[in-house]
Amino acid sequence: MTETARLDLQRRQRIGMVEAIWGEHKTTEQIASILIRLQRAGELALATRVDAAKAQAVAELIEAEASGAALLEQLHFHADARCLSLGDPAPPRQELGEVLVLSGGTSDLPVASEAQLALHWHGVRCERLLDVGVAGLHRLLGQLERLEQAQVLIACAGMEGALPTVLAGLVPQPVIGVPVSVGYGVSAGGQAALHGMLASCAPGLSVVNIDNGYGAAMAALRILNSGRAMAPAQEP
């Protein structure tokens, strides 16, 4: 299998996160090769934006490798998150606390699932809260006690993208908004949600690019790692 990528194998040691593989515009051979090289180097191996057909083709290439049968047992396609992983995630890091990923509706599920998986892959506890959009505000208000238990909130929303603004006005935790490319007409593939979040009147709201669940997860991870680094040392 031809090696065409120059991997950053020290990224997790340097900045605390793995080099994920952007799978949408890579060939199956490129994805398979990079996954195997990461896994054999002892690094986390995660590919995002992979559909079922591409995942199957990658599996067939990995199976054809010399140690393909053993590798194939470690390959997992996460259909709801549109991701492929090879090997095991990082060990749980309970000291970092928990991230909650909220979504306005089930149409946001792929993006929310990508964020959840990326955090899980780095050892961070993460759960999803679905269907808590502003069209039924009582559903969100009914979850306020649950929200208080998390250290960081990621809010995925399409249409007008109001959910992160509402959240940031209700709770003190860091809120990361993810505009989702869901909505009619002037929603324009997530542009309306993106502009709405960027123009939010809720101070301190952070926003990532459209459909960028992985980016939101890594922003949350940076916040958690920073908080731990600033925490006072525990006395023996």
Per-residue pLDDT tens for 97-124?
999 999 988 888 999 999 999 999 999 9
Question: What pLDDT is recorded for position 230?
Answer: 46
Does the residue 5 lie in any domain?
A: no
User: Residues 63, 76, 35, 208: is their CA dihedral positive or negative?
Assistant: positive
Q: What's the structural domain count of the chain?
A: 2
Q: Are 12 and 206 in contact (CB under 8 A)?
A: no
Alpha-carbon distance values, 144 to 22, 127, 130 (Å)? 35, 15, 14
The arrangement of strands across the sheet holding 152-157 comes to: 125-129, 98-103, 152-157, 175-179, 206-207
Tokens of 2: 């031809």
Place of tokens 């306005």: 104
In a domain, 32, yes or no: yes
Residue type, 97: G
The type of residue at 14 is R
The answer to whether the predicted template modeling score (pTM) of the entire model surpasses 0.95 is no
71 and 99 fall within a common domain: no
* Contacts of residue 75, Cβ cutoff 8 Å, sequence gap at least 6: 35, 58, 59, 62, 84, 85, 86
Mark the ranges of the chain whose per-residue pLDDT is less than 70.
1-4, 66-68, 228-236
Residues 78 and 167 occupy one common structural domain: no
Query: Does 142 map to a domain?
Result: yes
**Helix count and strand count (H, E) for the chain:** 10, 9
Amino acid at 31: I
Q: H helices within the chain, ranges in order?
A: 11-15, 28-40, 52-63, 68-73, 109-121, 137-141, 144-147, 163-168, 191-198, 213-230
Task: Tell whether 19 and 103 lie within a shared domain.
Answer: no
Q: What is the pLDDT of residue 232?
A: 46
Specify the pLDDT at position 233: 43
C-alpha–C-alpha distance, residues 200 and 206, integer Å: 10
Per DSSP, what are the bridge partners of residue 45? 86
Q: What is the pLDDT of residue 66?
A: 57
Kindly state whether residue 20 falls inside one of the protein's structural domains. Answer: yes
Supply the range of the domain harboring residue 120.
94-228
Which pLDDT value is given to residue 124? 95
Same domain, 143 and 213: yes
Look at residue 68 in the predicted model and tell me its pLDDT.
Answer: 60
Please report, as a single letter, which amino acid is at residue 29.
Answer: E
